[in-house]
Chains A and B, each alone.
Chain A
Amino acid sequence: MILAKVLGPVVSTVKHASYAGLKLLVVQPVNETGAAEGKSLLAVDRVSSAGEGDTVLILKEGTGVRQLFGLPKEAKLPIQACIVGVVDEVAVGAGEKK
């Protein structure tokens, strides 16, 4: 998974059926210090209440997302990135607080 900061929501009313009812957020990947690193991307959010400015964990792999949705192998889920956690704290090194 990658660490990313939530930049905000993406509003899309006309979209592929698989995205119906899902929150769509634009997120900026960050490194362990919270600095932006890499291209921003979109991720869906089913469970968390992540909002603007939150740091989150993003699963960026389609098969994993399908399994997260509890769908069988044959199900066709065109979703590549999903929020799988809201990060409270990132500590680098032997227990140093960030």
Chain B
Amino acid sequence: MYLGRVVGTVVAQTKAEGLSGQKLLLVQPLDHDQKPNGPIEAAVDTVRAGPGDLVFLVGSREASLALEEAFVPVDAAIVGFVDSVHAGGGK
């Protein structure tokens, strides 16, 4: 899993069936110091996040396991809000 900041929303009328009804948000992956850490990506939202929220995501196949529906073709899912990150152990 990894940290991310929601930076926007994505609307796609035409999409694979599994994706219909899923809310898509635009997310900037972050490292432990909350600095950008990779390209901005689209992720399905499972916790009703919105732009500006600090969240954590699960990637690859496990992302589709975060959803109720049988199989949703996603490889990134927001699965929690982050209240705080303590990353002092690395110094």
Contact = CB atoms under 8 A, between A and B. Distances in A.
Question: Do A and B bind?
Answer: yes
Interface residues of A, number: 35
Interface string A40-76: 1111100000011110000000100000000000001
Interface of B: 1-3, 31-32, 37-38, 46-47, 56, 58-63, 65-66, 77, 79-90
A48 B3 CA distance: 22
Contacts of A15: 47, 56, 79-81
B32 A80 contact: no
Dominant secondary structure of chain B at its interface with chain A: mixed
A31 interface: no
Given A62-B65, A77-B65, 18 more contacts: A5-B90, A7-B88, A8-B32, A8-B86, A8-B88, A11-B86, A13-B83, A14-B81, A15-B81, A26-B86, A26-B87, A36-B90, A39-B31, A39-B37, A42-B3, A52-B89, A53-B89, A62-B61
